[in-house]
Amino acid sequence: MSNKVVNWNGGLQPEAVEILSADGGMIVCPTKVGYIIMTSDAKGLERKFDAKQRNRNKPGVVLCGSLEQLKELAQLNPEIEELYQQHWDKDVLLGCILPWKEEAVARIPEDGSKDLMMDRRQTSCFVIKFGVPGENLAKELWENHGKFSFASSANPSGKGNRGLVEGIGERIEQHADLIIAANDYVKSIQPNESEKTRYEQGVMVAMVDENGKLVPEQKGERNITPCPVLIRKGLDVDKIMSMLSDIFTTWDYRHGNYY
């Protein structure tokens, strides 16, 4: 690996803050499920699409370093807020497809970011508890630099990185400004799993209808639709389904039903 690689320092990585707080920075960062590309503006997002040679129809992934940040950015209702709170308290990785708040959209730089970080329904996947290295960065960038944190898996399209920094592929390695290595941290989250059995992704739950409008509150009533839909299984899916069931009487399981 090149001299761009630094070992994670166990806290906030200053080199990464420097790169992502400037224009167009792009780094590779470890998470609970493997390595991601992390960027903070349109120029960085363009570089990410180029590095991954990827089409642009996927909803953007927005990393939230605090529940306060989530509440500032995304439209929520009390039940969705409660779901996030439970996951936050139990340190469980969760991503939900949600609409943006209008006032948050107004904060997005007028640099083309909007088209690259939302899908056509104006929704993104807002993720919490994705792993300490990135959580520290997202919190710092938002609170002290007023910058977003966007994520995408750091692997050549269609191939996983297997939770190893060596698996991110040559192209991403060449394109990144910095690579934070922490194979031991990634391994520690699923210590008993092999490369074949480990989850390489987090669970994603759609909290919107097909037009991108928030699902209604259920308030304990049955058969309220549209309802939350678990569209991607992943790390801690059992815990997440249990918490979903505690809060929502009705929800769907449709793995792979992305758009």
| Per-residue pLDDT tens over the stretch 133-181 | 999 999 999 999 999 999 999 987 667 889 999 999 999 999 999 999 9
| Per-residue confidence (pLDDT) for residue 123, from 0 to 100 | 93
Is 135 part of a structural domain of the chain?
yes
Nearest to 138 by CA among 10, 36, 38: 38
| Per-residue confidence (pLDDT) for residue 110, from 0 to 100 | 75
Q: List the beta strands (DSSP E) in the chain.
A: 5-7, 26-30, 35-39, 61-63, 94-99, 123-128, 150-153, 178-181, 204-206, 229-232, 252-253
Can you give the pTM of this predicted structure?
Answer: 0.94
Does pLDDT of 259 surpass 60? no
Does pLDDT of 2 surpass 70? no
Is 37 part of a structural domain of the chain?
yes
Residue 55: pLDDT band with limits 50, 70, 90: low
Is 258 part of a structural domain of the chain?
no
| 76-119 residue pLDDT tens | 999 999 999 999 999 999 999 999 999 998 887 777 777 777 77
Sign of CA dihedral 16, 149, 103, 120: positive
Is 259 part of a structural domain of the chain?
no
Is 172 part of a structural domain of the chain?
yes
Is the distance from CB of 248 to CB of 228 less than 8 angstroms?
yes
Beta-sheet pairing, 178-181 with 5-7: parallel
Q: Which two tokens stand for residue 117?
A: 């970080």
Average pLDDT for residues 28-52, to the nearest whole number? Answer: 92
Q: Which two tokens stand for residue 89?
A: 């308290």
| Per-residue confidence (pLDDT) for residue 117, from 0 to 100 | 76
| Per-residue confidence (pLDDT) for residue 122, from 0 to 100 | 86
Is the distance from CB of 60 to CB of 112 less than 8 angstroms?
no
67-94 core/surface letters (b: 16 or more CB in 10 A; e: else) = bebbeebbbbeebbeebbebbbeeebbb
| 110-136 residue pLDDT tens | 777 777 777 778 899 999 999 999 999
Is the distance from CB of 9 to CB of 137 less than 8 angstroms?
no
Is 129 part of a structural domain of the chain?
yes
Boundaries of domain holding 69: 5-253
- Provide the mean pLDDT of the chain: 92
| Per-residue confidence (pLDDT) for residue 42, from 0 to 100 | 85
Does pLDDT of 52 surpass 90? no
Is 20 part of a structural domain of the chain?
yes
Is 120 part of a structural domain of the chain?
yes
How many domains would you assign to the chain? Answer: 1
Average pLDDT for residues 218-245, to the nearest whole number? Answer: 97
Question: What is the residue whose two structure tokens read 């590095």?
Answer: 51
Q: Give the C-alpha separation, 242 to 240, whole Å.
A: 5
Q: Give the C-alpha separation, 57 to 120, whole Å.
A: 8
Q: What CATH number should be reported for the domain holding residue 74? A: 3.90.870.10
